Amino acid sequence: LGSATAPRGLYMYGGVGVGKSFVMDTFFACAAVPDNKKRRLHFNEFMLEVHKRMHELRRDYPEYGDPVPHVAHTIAQNTQLLCFDEFQVTDVADALVMRRLFRHLFCMNLVMVATSNREPDRLYLNGIQRASFVPFIEDLKARCECHDLDSETDYRMLAQVSRGANTYMYPLGEQTQQAMDELFTGLT
């Protein structure tokens, strides 16, 4: 799938509050990809866009036939890096489109980074026509490093590190620097 020189993506999964979205957001902010060539969005939002575009192509250009390759081409022309938060598949329509869509995207060297509460093999578990979806899981594992962010700590529940300090501070900037200075002063 795709070029051997294309970087592998990352699929992070684990319990709630372990920092998956934080890691992805930090990566997204630091990725050496032009801003107009990278997108970060909720996975369900992305799939709604895909279905809408497929509908428009079927309606406006029925002579194109299968809209999936056209949608994939448009996405890949405009995007090098796709970051998905809350990667979850519960809808049969999404499941049936994903294998074909992502096979095209991966072949066009698009890089995907995603967060999920489910390990890849448990995606769309017990879903209708899951056998048609399983090849997507194999493609995902071939193109993405899959990593379990296993932690017993739910960082969302940690209200303070010490005397009102945040668990982490982001984005970096003048306000963050001031907060760090105040925290350090309080500790010394």
Share of the chain above pLDDT 70, in %: 87
What's the pLDDT at 11? 97
Q: Find the range with the poorest average confidence among 8-12, 18-22, 108-112.
A: 18-22
d(C-alpha 120, C-alpha 147), whole Å: 10
Mean pLDDT, rounded, of the chain: 88
pLDDT at 163 over 50: no
Bridge partners, residue 39, by sequence: 82
pLDDT at 80 over 90: yes
Name the amino acid, one letter, at 45. E
What's the pLDDT at 187? 64
pLDDT at 157 over 70: no
The residue-averaged pLDDT of 65-70 equals 96
Helices then strands (H, E): number in the chain? Answer: 6, 5
pLDDT at 158 over 70: no
Q: Which residue has the higher pLDDT, 184 or 40?
A: 40
The residue-averaged pLDDT of 111-119 equals 96
- DSSP SS3 for 95: helix
Measure the CA angle with vertex 142, ends 139 and 146; round to 5°.
Answer: 105
CA 173 to chain centre: 25
What's the pLDDT at 162? 43
- Under 8 Å between Cβ of 3 and 111: no
The residue-averaged pLDDT of 91-109 equals 95
d(C-alpha 11, C-alpha 41), whole Å: 15
What's the pLDDT at 160? 45
